[in-house]
Copies of this chain bind each other. A is one copy, B any other.
Amino acid sequence: HKIVILPGDGIGPEVAAAARAVLEAVGSAHGLSLSFESHDIGGCAIDAHGDPFPESTAKACAGADAVFLGAVGGPKWDGGGPRPEAGLLALRKTLGAFANLRPITLFPGLERLSPLKEERVAGTDMLIVRELTGGIYFGDKVEGDETASDLCSYSRQEVERIARIAFDAARGRKRRVTSVDKANVLATSRLWRNAVVALRDAEYPDVELDHVLVDAMAMKLIERPAAFDVILTENMFGDILSDEASVIAGSIGLAPSASLSESHGGLYEPIHGSAPDIAGQGKANPVGAILSAAMLLRHALGEGEAAAAIERAVSECLAAGIGTGDVGGSASTQQVAEHVCARIA
């Protein structure tokens, strides 16, 4: 299995190294043959190649069985010129990684970390399914100093494709999908809602479906996070709501993601950013990255048992109080990874 690793910027290289160490450990323990190759993306690729998504990186990713990404971006590249984030968007588009799965789970024993009162957050276990290659992220942009615009567009086919992922996932969970839109204002949201309803009625009558406006959802996530099962939404709303949900469950450093494609093994990345303020200090929480590696094993390589072994090891470490500062622990990034590896072996 050929895995391309894109460490990226800020804390990206640190968490990517942690994820790779864990993949190697689980590879030996479970007899998997994994090969790794690293390439540049984002800000470091701008510095080295003048391009946030160099041709060499694109080629390597396209030829890999799965791609793992650390994080991209940082104030260093904020001053005009090419943006690191453009590399990530190009990568998602190139791989056709349209289905971003962001599971948000409260780890037992970590209730105290949540900014929410413990009784509110107990039992939180949701899967946010975010459309990742459409919407306002990829519509025509008019840059300008006097006027500027971004076009948000969706086709029925794009909506159906991501809705199908959500309904299928719901069948393996509590069979409930909450679709989030702003149908009282946006044309794309009305198309979204119609397409989701039609698909449910035609193919998923066994899945419960409801609709919540994005502003109301921003409230409900805080009021009763444990009430949700699968949350289905478009690109921009998914960006905002998944970050919100991740802190509710304790720390954004804990949340993994998988971005699935119809033609490729997909892209796996923690949902946190490059956190330049703590880069290079060994403070970054590697759990989101490590759990993304588990998703990689499950979704890209079909190695569900190896994935489960990682998830078990992570839960045990967290329950034992082994963690970085953001989860109240005192371990370094690397120490957390070593503990996880030790439990796997």
Contacts and interface: CB of A to CB of B under 8 A. Distances in A.
Interface of A: 73, 83, 85, 89, 115-117, 120, 136-137, 139, 141-156, 182, 184-188, 190-191, 194, 214-216, 218-219, 222-223, 236-237, 239-244, 246-248, 252, 273
Given A215-B240, A244-B244, A147 B151 contact: no
A191 B145 contact: yes
So how many copies of this chain end up in the complex? 2
A236 B190 contact: no
B184 A85 contact: yes
A120 B222 CA distance: 14
Contacts of A246: 219
Contacts of A242: 215
Q: Interface centre among A73, A142, A144, A185, by most B CB within 10 Å? A: A185
Contacts of A248: 222
A136 B236 CA distance: 12
Given A216-B243, A247-B223, A186 B136 contact: yes
B153 A152 contact: no
Given A73-B184, A243-B218, A247-B222, A156 B149 contact: no
A222 B218 CA distance: 11
Contacts of A142: 153, 187
A187 B144 contact: yes
